[in-house]
Amino acid sequence: MTTASMNTQQPLLEGRNVSKFFGGLAALTGVDFAVYPGEVVGLIGPNGSGKTTLFDCLSRVQTISAGEVFFKGQDITNKKPFQVAHMGLARTFQVIRVYNKLTVLQNMLLSRQYGNTSIRKLFRPYPDVLEERAHEIIHFLLLDRVVNEKAGNLSGGQKRLLEIGMALMPDPELILLDEATSGVNPTLIETIKDRIMELNQNYNKTFLLIEHNIQFIGDLCSRVFVLNYGQKLAEGTPQEIMENQEVIEAYFGADGGDDDDW
């Protein structure tokens, strides 16, 4: 893992007082955070704590009720999703989003068409260089043998890998991963972890990831943010977070649960 120097570097992604309200319900309130170039940062919290809502606000899928978001020093608070994608911010989703009736390769190629409103243009011939990149990423993610398989026929883990591959196609600087291990068997969890580590260490990719698998977080992340009831509860190293009494109570109640639950 690469640990960025917070004293000398400008944040790659920064949220200031990020708030989101749905009618009278506060989904996020005054969330401040920063992700620095080269980091792998975890975002955890109990179910309903606002993690995916925060991702939606950062990727501009949802409008922000209050606060500001900056990417590479630029204010993206009011930009559209395809605009921030062009800037180098990509994401995956809690519920996997792939085109089940298209092949793995077709999914990869279509993932480059963000912001394209013409259906006709989606099916035009692709440049050789784009197909080469798609095949390189498919090979990197160990999906070669299913390259011509329809996405709907893939296992849950293979679909997760495909969605990560689709996010990588535009060569983003920062990838937001929403529960990348959900519904994935242990073997493929290790594959996903290894690929994230290699992308971070050898390809200078920065990650912010939502995850319930605490071991996964501990193996990958240099820092962790904790949300609870839409507010930032804590921030620190994985070890500091695991020993934080407020975090333990948020997850397990006042009795603290069992250490094995982590």
Q: What is the pLDDT of residue 111?
A: 84
pLDDT digits (tens, 9 = 90+) for 8-59: 689 999 999 999 999 889 999 999 999 999 999 999 999 999 999 999 999 9
Give the mean model confidence (pLDDT) for residues 187-192.
93
Domain boundaries, the chain: 13-253
Q: What is the pLDDT of residue 261?
A: 47
d(CA 124, CA 119): 10
d(CA 19, CA 50): 10
Per-residue pLDDT at 1 exceeds 50: no
The alpha helices in 22-126, defined as continuous H runs, are 51-58, 81-87, 104-110, 119-122
Q: What is the pLDDT of residue 248?
A: 92
pTM of the model: 0.88
pLDDT digits (tens, 9 = 90+) for 192-251: 999 999 999 999 999 999 999 989 999 999 999 999 999 999 999 999 999 999 999 988
In this prediction, residue 128 has a pLDDT band, given cuts at 50, 70 and 90, of confident
Per the listing, tokens 């991963």 go with 177
Q: What is the pLDDT of residue 84?
A: 95
d(CA 71, CA 65): 18
List residues bridging with 19 in a β-sheet. Answer: 66
Percent with pLDDT over 90 in the chain: 78
Give the mean model confidence (pLDDT) for residues 72-85.
95
Q: What is the pLDDT of residue 6?
A: 45
The token pair that represents 185 in the structure block? 């068997």
The token pair that represents 61 in the structure block? 């899928």
Give the mean model confidence (pLDDT) for residues 131-156.
96
Higher pLDDT, 112 or 101: 101
The token pair that represents 219 in the structure block? 């193996």
Provide φ and ψ at 150, rounded to 5°: -65, 140
Q: Which CATH superfamily is domain 13-253 in?
A: P-loop containing nucleotide triphosphate hydrolases (3.40.50.300)
In this prediction, residue 123 has a pLDDT band, given cuts at 50, 70 and 90, of low
Among 105-119, 180-194, 199-213, which is the least confidently predicted range?
105-119
